Amino acid sequence: MSEPRTPVFAANWKMSHGPAETGAFVERFAARHGPRGDATVVVFPPAISLAAFAAAASGRPDLEFGVQDVHTEVEGAHTSGISAAMVPATGATWGLAGHSERRREFGDTDVDVGRKLVRLLEVGLRPVLCVGETLDEREAGRLATVLETQIRDALRPLGREGRARLAYAYEPVWAIGTGRTASPADAAEAHAIIREQLVRAEGCDAERAVILYGGSVKPANIDALLAAPGVDGVLVGGASLDPDSWAAICAAGR
Ligand code: 13P
């Protein structure tokens, strides 16, 4: 029997919490959430708040953090861009790639996402590849095709070693910020499709692939979602912005 995968509780703050709010958040959250050796807690603040997060969490190495996006290039004339090479100096150890809001608002393609994964891996960050279908795609019966295409095209530039270091987040676009959560059965179905694709087409080890669920996760539904087969953790937006609500989520299964 292989080792169970350690659950991951990840917070994506998107464009909330500047440096001042970040310090206050960490202080309150840390008072409510003691270190737990049986789970990973990671926060993705806006890039401008990474230093504030690092400073506020300096006494709590169990509170990991990461960057929400990086540029496809390492350096150059790319106003407002953030190079993956700049990130490790902040103390961040994780990086998101392919969030549906990046795809929709900034036009990130699967090829761009693949290049960002390469950049994150080059500097030793742990990427989380976000995938998910729109409501139209789901209703057209294209769930498996969409997930498989997003994974195949993003993973194309990665070698076997890089692939083994990725985590994944299944985030159905119709469940993000809508209050409409995928049922545990929906999440289990999509996670099984992703895991199957990783093993069959990408040469990954099924037992080691960490797949998070994201989309309207909150304290009231965390237990049911985490109990769904193949759900190894969560990526939380709105409900991670309040330190008490985030602490309640991070206490699941304790
Ligand atoms: P919500 O939890 O606000 O639905 O956002 C989910 C998400 O997009 C996390 O990356």
pLDDT in tens, 112-125: 999 999 999 999 99
pLDDT of residue 222: 97
Instruction: Determine the distance separating the centroid of ligand 1 and the alpha carbon of 236, expressed in angstroms.
Output: 5
pLDDT at res. 204? 85
Task: Average the pLDDT over 71-90 and give the result.
Answer: 98
Structure confidence at residue 179 (pLDDT): 87
8 A C-beta contact, residue 97 and residue 116: yes
Q: How confident is the model at residue 1 (pLDDT cuts 50, 70, 90)?
A: very low
CA of 98 to the centre of ligand 1 (A): 13
* Secondary structure letter of residue 2 according to DSSP: P
Among all residues, which ones are annotated catalytic?
99, 171
What DSSP string describes 131-156?
E---HHHHHTT-HHHHHHHHHHHHHT
- For the chain, what are the domain ranges? 8-250
Q: What is the CATH number of domain 8-250?
A: 3.20.20.70
Residue 241's φ and ψ, nearest 5 degrees, are: -80, -20
Mean pLDDT of the chain: 95
Q: Which of 100, 235, 242, 245 to mutate to test the pocket of ligand 1 (most atoms within 8 A of CB)?
A: 235
In testing the pocket of ligand 1, which one of 176, 221, 222 has its CB within 8 Å of the most ligand atoms? 176
The residues, any chain, with a CB within 8 Å of residue 53's CB and separated by 6 or more, are 22, 26, 43, 45, 65
Q: What is the arithmetic mean of pLDDT over 188-192?
A: 97
Instruction: Give per-residue pLDDT as tens, 30-63.
Output: 999 999 999 999 999 999 999 999 999 999 999 9
- pLDDT band for 4, please (50, 70, 90 cuts): low
